[in-house]
Amino acid sequence: MTPKEFARRRRQLMRMMGPDSVAILPTAPECIRNRDVEFPFRPDSDFYYLTGFHEPEAVMVLAPGREHGEFILFCRERDPVRETWTGRRVGPGGACNDYGADDAFPIGDIDDILPGLMEGRERVFYTMGLRGDFDQRMLGWLNRIRAGSRGGERTPDEFIALEHLVHDMRLYKSASELRTMRRAAKIAASAHVRAMQATRPGLMEYAVEAEFAHAFRREGCEHAYSPIVGGGANACILHYTENNARLNDGELLLIDAGAEHDYYASDITRTFPVGGRFSKAQRALYELVLDAQYAAIEEVRPGNHWNDPHDAAVKVLTKGLVQLGILKGNVRKLIKDEAYKRFYMHRTGHWLGMDVHDVGDYKVGGEWRVLEKGMVMTVEPGLYIPAGTKGVAKKWWDIGIRIEDDVAVTKDGYEILSTGAPKAVDEIEAIVGSG
């Protein structure tokens, strides 16, 4: 992402905020993993989206029309001793020179400076309730302005959640965002290929997971979320992340893993036989899920509604489950009664972007959102039949299948970003265990 793109986003946001307003946005806090060990720092997505600034302990302020500059950044000061221990810092000087800040201050001075930036403005765009500690500081600054306002300066009297505006912006991906997401999906897709090639009976789930670590880190990527690598019965646990069981011949392996590249996520699921050959029952269910996914993807186009891909998937799955004798009854009635939910209990997708379950409303005015160019979503139908499922023949037990791709809405249809990972039965059977 170029500095120009970040500047464009800030301008767009300030246009929407209007004059006499100010936006305040802290980045994410650093998180302790255990004792004095921290998790790797990841900036808040909204904060990074607007600043391109990746250091912890930073706060962005946008003050439209401010004489000394509209984009103000508070960040850590340069400190040779601290930098020797914990790494380089950009510092306020670097924030101006390299990140386009009009004005930058040490984060330690925020109590002295920030109230003055709010003073005299009507509206404050700030999202309450995400960070209790920062909410408290905001209240303190406001009280100070109020206490000092007898001189005639007005205290802001309108608070608006900043995230409404920013999240709607983030829902529409620009050309360079789509380029970044294409790359994230490509890296993840080739990691899935690696994992398929490496899989054979007797391996541990985490040994297959290691293929993703290798494929992602060599491209400078992180996992966009905790990967799911579940064989057999574990494939039927939707958020299984232990990844510590042995893989057996005859089982299916479900892998849900995506790369984060330049702070943009990919999210891909593939399901394939550990031993390289689908059983008849596995193949029947797999092809049903694949048909449902194709049908759902065909519904991705401008003008359709968010729910159309889901409805298409449900229709195909329910019909197929009746044909296989797993559901019994009239297809339309089974759909109406949501009978499929015993085997397909999640939705067919979610928005995808800087966050894997990305921001953006799914409904507008009570109606499913209309799809528009630049929106990116996952399409991920599945079927899960754990052992012991009542009224379902044993041959279907312990089969868990999900097929997930990343799909962008284009001018007149869709673009699949994650095409590099095979999903047709013959392609999969040719590749599994071949590495």
The residues annotated as belonging to the active site are 36, 239, 256, 267, 346, 350, 357, 380, 384, 402, 404
Q: Which does 266 bind (CB under 5 to 8 A by kind): Mg ion, Zn ion, none?
A: none
Distance of CA 207 to the CA centre of its chain: 25
Region from 124-132, 263-271, 347-355, 362-370 binding Mg ion, contact rule CB under 5 A: 263-271
CA angle 44, 302, 161 (to 5 degrees): 30
Q: Which has the closest alpha carbon to 344: 363, 361, 320? A: 320
> Quick one: three-class SS letters along 371-433?
CCCCCEEEECCEEEECCCCCCCCHHHCCEEEECEEEEEECCCCEEECCCCCCCCHHHHHHHCC
Q: Where are the beta strands (DSSP E) in 167-280?
A: 222-223, 228-231, 252-257, 259-261, 264-265, 268-273
Residue placing its CB nearer to Mg ion in the complex, 226 or 330: 226
Q: Which does 308 bind (CB under 5 to 8 A by kind): Mg ion, Zn ion, none?
A: none
CB of 404 to Zn ion, least distance (A): 5
Residue placing its CB nearer to Zn ion in the complex, 211 or 267: 267
Residue placing its CB nearer to Mg ion in the complex, 256 or 308: 256
d(CA 93, CA 366): 47
Exposed (0-12), middle (13-18) or buried (19+): which is 364, by Cβ within 10 Å?
exposed
| Binds Mg ion (CB under 5 A): choice among 70, 209, 256, 405 | 256
d(CA 34, CA 51): 30
d(CA 52, CA 99): 7
> Which residues would be at the binding site for Zn ion (CB under 5 A)?
267, 378
CB of 267 to Zn ion, least distance (A): 4
Q: Which does 119 bind (CB under 5 to 8 A by kind): Zn ion, Mg ion, none?
A: none
Residue placing its CB nearer to Mg ion in the complex, 274 or 352: 352
Q: Which does 405 bind (CB under 5 to 8 A by kind): Mg ion, Zn ion, none?
A: none
State phi, psi for 294 to the nearest 5 degrees. -60, -45
265-324: contacts with Mg ion (CB under 5 A): 267
Beta bridge mates, 383? 401
349-408: contacts with Mg ion (CB under 5 A): 404
CB of 335 to Zn ion, least distance (A): 23
Q: Which does 27 bind (CB under 5 to 8 A by kind): Mg ion, Zn ion, none?
A: none
CB of 404 to Mg ion, least distance (A): 5
251 forms part of the interface with Mg ion (CB under 5 A): no
Beta bridge mates, 408? 376, 415
| Number of residues counted as binding Mg ion (CB under 5 A) | 3
Which DSSP state fits 119? Answer: T
Helix/strand/coil percent split, the chain, to 5: 40, 20, 40
Region from 261-269, 323-331, 332-340, 381-389 binding Mg ion, contact rule CB under 5 A: 261-269
Q: Which does 205 bind (CB under 5 to 8 A by kind): Zn ion, Mg ion, none?
A: none
CB of 370 to Zn ion, least distance (A): 22
CB of 257 to Mg ion, least distance (A): 8
d(CA 213, CA 209): 7
Residues that bind Mg ion (CB under 5 A): 256, 267, 404
